[in-house]
Structure 1
Amino acid sequence: MQAKKSRESLSVTSVHVLPNDTNNHGTFFGGKLMMYVDNIAAIAATRHSRSLVVTASIDSVDFLRPIYTGSSVCLEALVTWSHNTSMEVFVKIIDENLRSGARQLCTTCFLTFVALDDHGKPTAVPKVIPESEEEQLLFESAEGRYLNRKKRRQQTKKFTAELTLKRPWE
Structure 2
Amino acid sequence: MRGATQMMTEARPIQQSRTFLTDLVLPPDTNHHHTIFGGKVMAYVDKIACIAAMRHCRKPVVTASSDSFDFLAPIKTGEAINLEAYVTWTHKTSMEVFVRVESENLLTGEKRMTARAYLTMIALDDQGKPTSVPGVIPDTEEERIQYEKAKERHVLRRKRKVEM
So what's the TM-score if we normalise by structure 1? 0.91
Q: Does 1:42 align with 2:47?
A: no
2:22–2:83 Cα contact (<8 Å) kept: yes
Runs of at least 5 residues in structure 1 that lack an aligned partner in the other structure? 157-170
Match 1:134 to one of 118, 129, 142: 142
Q: Report which structure shows greater RCO (CA 8 Å, sep ≥6).
A: 2
- Two-structure CA RMSD over aligned residues (Å): 0.6
Runs of at least 5 residues in structure 2 that lack an aligned partner in the other structure? 1-8
Q: Which residue of 2 aligns with 1:8?
A: 16
Match 2:98 to one of 90, 94, 107: 90
2:68–2:116 Cα contact (<8 Å) kept: no
Name the SS of the counterpart of 1:139 in structure 2.
helix
Give the Cα–Cα distance (whole angstroms) in 1 for the partners of residues 11 and 68 of structure 2: 28
Give the Cα–Cα distance (whole angstroms) in 1 for the partners of residues 115 and 41 of structure 2: 11
Give the Cα–Cα distance (whole angstroms) in 1 for the partners of residues 163 and 25 of structure 2: 37
Q: How many residues align?
A: 156
Name the SS of the counterpart of 1:99 in structure 2.
coil
Q: Which residue of 2 aligns with 1:160?
A: none
* Alpha-carbon offset, residue 107 of structure 1: 1.3
Q: Does 1:112 align with 2:120?
A: yes
* Alpha-carbon offset, residue 61 of structure 1: 1.5
Give the Cα–Cα distance (whole angstroms) in 2 for the partners of residues 155 and 54 of structure 1: 23
Moved over 2 A (4+): none
Q: Which residue of 2 aligns with 1:159?
A: none
One-letter code aligned to 1:130:
P
Q: Which residue of 1 aligns with 2:158?
A: 150
